[in-house]
Chains A and B, each alone.
Chain A
Amino acid sequence: MELTDIAIKSIYAIVVVSVLMGFCSYAVLAERKISSWIQGRVGPNRTTLPIIGSIPYVGRFLTRLGVFQPAADGLKFLFKEDVTPAHVNKLYFTLAPVLSLVPALTTVVVVPFGYFENAAGEVVNLVLADLNVAILFLFAISSLGVYGVVLAGWASNSKYPFLGGIRASAQMISYELAMGISVLPVFMWLNAPGTDGTLSLVDVVNAQGGALWNAMWMPGSFLIFVVCIFAETNRLPFDMAESETELVSGFHTEYSSFKFGLFFVGEYAHMLVGSAVVAVLFLGGWHPLPFMTWADFGVHGWLAGVLSVGTMIGKLCGFMFFFMWIRWTLPRFRYDQVMRIGWQMLLPLSIANLIVYTFVIYFLERP
C-alpha cells in the first residue's frame, strides 16, 4: 500500500471518528431532552455562547433547545477532579475505560454509510473498510466491549462494581447467542446457492435495494435482533451492569471525570453503531423506500452521495430516538427475568425463527 493511500485512509478514519464523537455528544443532549419531554420537564435550556446566543430569536431558540449544552458537558468531564481510589488496581482501572471505548470506535470501520457515483459512473461505497467478513468482524469486536465493563468492575475492587461486572458478562454471553442466530436468515437469503458467498454489510444493503427491506418480511429476526442490541449496549431495560438503584451505577461507581466520560461516550458510540447496524441489516440502509433506490428517483453522482448518507443518518437518528424512547418508557427487568428472557425465550425463538426462514427461503428460491 502506498504511503498516500495510508494517509488518505487515516484522514477518512479521523473524519468518521470525529463525526461519530459529535453524534455521541448530541445523543447525550437528545437523551436529556427526550427524557425531560416525556417527564413533563424542560431539559437543558440555559447554556449559551456569547455571540451566537445573542442573535435575536435564533440564539434564544438554540439556547432553549440546549444546542450549546454538549460543549459544557464535555468541558465538565475534562476539568472535574479525577479521583482514583487508593484500593484499586491502577493499571486495570485506567485500562478499563479505554477498553470499553475502543471496540465501539473500531466497529464503525465496517459499517457502510452511503455511496456515490464518480465521474466514470462507477458506484463507490462509502465505508472505511468493505470487509468480506464484516458481520463476523462486527460481532467479534463489539463483544470485546464487555471486557471494558468487566475489567472496570473487577479493578474497582469494591462490591457494587464487582456485581455489575459479573452481571454484564453473564448478560453479554446470554444475548450474543440469540443475536447471532437471529441474523442468520438475512445472510442465508443473501448467499443464495450459485452466488459468491459474502458476509459484507455493503452487499446486505445492495440486496435490499429495489426489494422489500429485511425487517418487513423477517419481523421475527428484526425483533429478536433489536432486543439483543438493547442488551448488548447495556441500555434500559437491560442495564443490569449499571442499575443505579441497586448497584449505585454498577461498574462505573468508582470512576470520575474523564474516565467516566470515556465510559459514557463508549456507551453512546455502542448505541450509534448498533443503530447503524440495525439500519443496514434490516431497514434497507441508505435506500429511501422499499422497492425504490435513489437511482430509481433519477439521482446520480455526488447528489446520490449526499442523499444516501442523509438517508442513512436519518434512519440512524430514528433508531437512536427509539432507543431513548424505550429507555424512558420501560422499567428495568429483574436480573432473573433478564436471564429467563435470554435463555428461555429469545434463544428458542431465534432457533425457531431460523428453522422457519430456512424453509421459507428454500421455497422462495425454488422456482
Chain B
Amino acid sequence: MAIVVKRKPLTFLEKLYIPEIVRGLTVTFRRMFFGETVTLEYPEQRPPIPAGYRGVPTLVRDPEGREKCVSCQLCEFVCPPKAIRITPGEIPEDSDYAHVEKAPKEFDIDMLRCIYCGMCQEVCPEEAIWLQNQYSMSGYTRAEMVNNKAKLYELGGTLPDDHFKWNKKKEAAKNGGGHGHAMPPADMPRSENPEVPPVFPK
C-alpha cells in the first residue's frame, strides 16, 4: 500500500522565509558552539574494530610457533581475484617437525588484487589464514604491496588455540599411522563394491 505523505500547507510566517531562516540559523549556531565534535583524529585515534572484521589476510602460527599452513593451495584456488600465489615445499629435514606435513616455501598475497572477501579464511582446512584487524595498507611501489611469507607471519602472529594437531600427527606417525589410525592389517576384509568404502577395524 502506498504511503501518502501529507504536506501541510505553509503558514503565512513560513511563507515569509525570514522567520524560518532565523530558525535554521539558531540550529547551526547551537551546533557551532554547543555541539559535540564527532570527528576521530585518525592516525592518533583509531576506530574500534568490530568482531568478525575482514582486514588484511595474514598467516598465523600455533602456540608452539609452528606454521599452521600446510600449503594445500585451497586458498590459492578459491581466491576470486587470484591474489594468492603459493609455492609448496617440504619442511626442512633438520627441523623437529620434518616429515609431518608440508609447508609453503613461498606465500605471496598481492594486496593490490585482494578484495577482502574472506574466502581464503573460509576454505582453509587448517585455520592458518585469517583476515585480521589491520585495514590500512600503503606503499610506494607495486612490489611493496605484495605481502610475502615473512610479512604475512609478522602481521598474523599466533593463533591461541589449544588444538595441537601436529603433536597428534607426530604421535600417530611414530606408531606407524596417520590421523590416529593404525595401519590396516594385511588380512583386512575388503569390500567388493568399490562404492562402499572399506571398513577399518578400530
A residues lining the B interface (CB < 8 Å): 34, 37-42, 45, 223, 325-326, 328-330
Contacts and interface: CB of A to CB of B under 8 A. Distances in A.
B32 interface: yes
Contact of B37 (A40, A325, A329, A330): A40
Contact of A38 (B28, B36, B39, B41): B28
Interface centre among B25, B31, B32, by most A CB within 10 Å?
B32
Contacts of B36: 40
A39 to B, nearest CB: 8
A329 B17 CA distance: 13
A151 B96 CA distance: 80
B38 interface: yes
Contacts of B41: 42, 45
18 contacts: A37-B35, A38-B32, A38-B35, A39-B31, A40-B31, A40-B36, A40-B38, A41-B37, A42-B37, A42-B41, A45-B41, A223-B18, A325-B28, A326-B25, A329-B24, A329-B25, A330-B21, A330-B24
A328 B25 CA distance: 9
B33 to A, nearest CB: 7
B200 interface: no
B29 interface: yes
B38 A325 contact: no
Contacts of B29: 325
Interface-central residue, B28, B36, B38, by most chain A CB under 10 Å: B28
Given A40-B39, A325-B32, 9 more contacts: A37-B32, A37-B35, A38-B35, A40-B35, A42-B37, A42-B39, A45-B41, A328-B28, A330-B24
Nearest to B27: A329
Contact of A37 (B18, B27, B33): B33
Contacts of B39: 40-42
Contacts of B32: 34, 37-38, 325
A39 B33 CA distance: 11
Most buried by A among B21, B33, B35, B37: B37
Interface in B42-60: none
6 smallest beta-carbon distances between A and B, as pairs: A329-B28, A37-B32, A40-B38, A42-B39, A329-B24, A41-B39
Given A40-B38, A42-B37, A325 B31 contact: no
A320 to B, nearest CB: 15
Contacts of B27: 329
Nearest to A341: B17
A325 B25 contact: yes
Contacts of B33: 37
A48 to B, nearest CB: 15
Nearest to B35: A40
B10 to A, nearest CB: 15
**Residue of A42, A329, A330 with highest tally of chain B CB at under 10 A:** A329
A39 B36 CA distance: 9
A328 B24 CA distance: 10
Contacts of A326: 25
A273 B41 CA distance: 36
